[in-house]
Chains A and B, each alone.
Chain A
Amino acid sequence: KAGVTQTPRYLIKTRGQQVTLSCSPISGHRSVSWYQQTPGQGLQFLFEYFSETQRNKGNFPGRFSGRQFSNSRSEMNVSTLELGDSALYLCASSLAGTFTDTQYFGPGTRLTVL
């Protein structure tokens, strides 16, 4: 069974640009969550999608948005990039998105904002 895949793996952008990251969950998983990971903050929850609907949202500005398609693939968009957005962005999928479900993480997209 293929794992969670994320594309691209690395990305370099400049301030003010926007970026779209993609995540393909494990087949059959309907919940996809996005996290931002930085050295000082650890993993910070961005949002979770389940069956094409945003079900939970973290404390991030509106510049961070996402969506989920009917095949459960998900995209995350960051507009008007800031230097502080440089981070590893991880997505995780699970069957139903409950606390007892195991989340399977992708390898992440390393975003660098110059």
Chain B
Amino acid sequence: KNQVEQSPQSLIILEGKNCTLQCNYTVSPFSNLRWYKQDTGRGPVSLTIMTFSENTKSNGRYTATLDADTKQSSLHITASQLSDSASYICVVSPNSGGYQKVTFGIGTKLQVIP
């Protein structure tokens, strides 16, 4: 069964600090990996998407990395802001099949405090 595991489950950091969220997956063969940000009470918003051949993708203060050999991805947030408080969800798509094959992680809940 395809799995996506995220760690830590929750994280509290001080405003201005950096943090790194982890995603391990077993989906294979693999098409792409996305990171989503979900604010409380809202739907997820796509932050980055990487194909199996890419190993890094940035979106402002968010940088995602991918190691397809070890099946690991990380999301690095630089100079955190209060507005970064949200859940971050890792999503992995296989290279065939429909949306029922897409696997979502449970997410990491990040709280940025002043």
Residue of B nearest to A110 (CB): B41
Residue of A nearest to B31 (CB): A99
A25 is an interface residue with CB less than 8 A from chain B: no
Contacting pair B43 A48 (CB below 8 A): no
Could you say which of A44, A57, A108 contacts B42, with CB atoms under 8 Å apart? A108
Is the pair B100, A45 in contact by a Cβ cutoff of 8 Å? yes
Q: How many residues of B contact A (CB 8 A)?
A: 20
Judge whether B98 and A42 touch: CB under 8 Å: no
Which residue on chain B has the smallest CB distance to residue A56? Answer: B98
Which residue in A56, A104, A106, A107 is a CB contact (below 8 Å) of B99?
A56
- With contacts A103-B46, A107-B43, A108-B42 taken as known, whether A55 is within 8 angstroms of B104 at the C-beta atoms is no
Given A92-B43, A103-B46: A41 and B100 within 8 A (CB)? no
Shortest A62–chain B CB gap in Å is 16
Chain B 84-98: CB-based contact to A (< 8 A → 1; otherwise 0): 000001000101001
Q: Could you tell me the distance between the alpha carbons of A45 and B94 in the complex, rounded to whole angstroms?
A: 15
**Please, how many angstroms separate the alpha-carbon atoms of A100 and B45 in the complex?**
15
**Which residues of B65-114 have CB atoms within 8 Å of chain A's CB atoms?**
89, 93, 95, 98-100, 102, 104-107
**CA gap between A113 and B102 in the complex, in Å:** 27
Closest to B44 in A: A105
Chain A CB count within 10 A is highest, among B32, B49, B89, B100, for B100
Chain B contacts for A53, CB-based, 8 A:
none
Contacting pair B106 A41 (CB below 8 A): yes
**Closest A residue, CB atoms, query B43:** A105
Whether a CB of chain B sits under 8 angstroms from the CB of A102 is: yes
B41 in contact with A99 (CB, 8 Å): no
A to B CB contacts below 8 Å, 19 in the list: A33-B99, A41-B106, A42-B104, A42-B106, A43-B89, A45-B99, A45-B100, A48-B98, A48-B99, A57-B100, A58-B100, A90-B43, A92-B43, A99-B102, A102-B49, A103-B46, A104-B46, A105-B45, A108-B43
Chain A positions within 8 Å of B, measured between CB atoms, are 4, 33, 40-45, 48, 55-59, 90, 92, 97, 99-100, 102-108
Q: Give the interface of B toward A (CB within 8 A).
A: 31-32, 41-46, 49, 89, 93, 95, 98-100, 102, 104-107
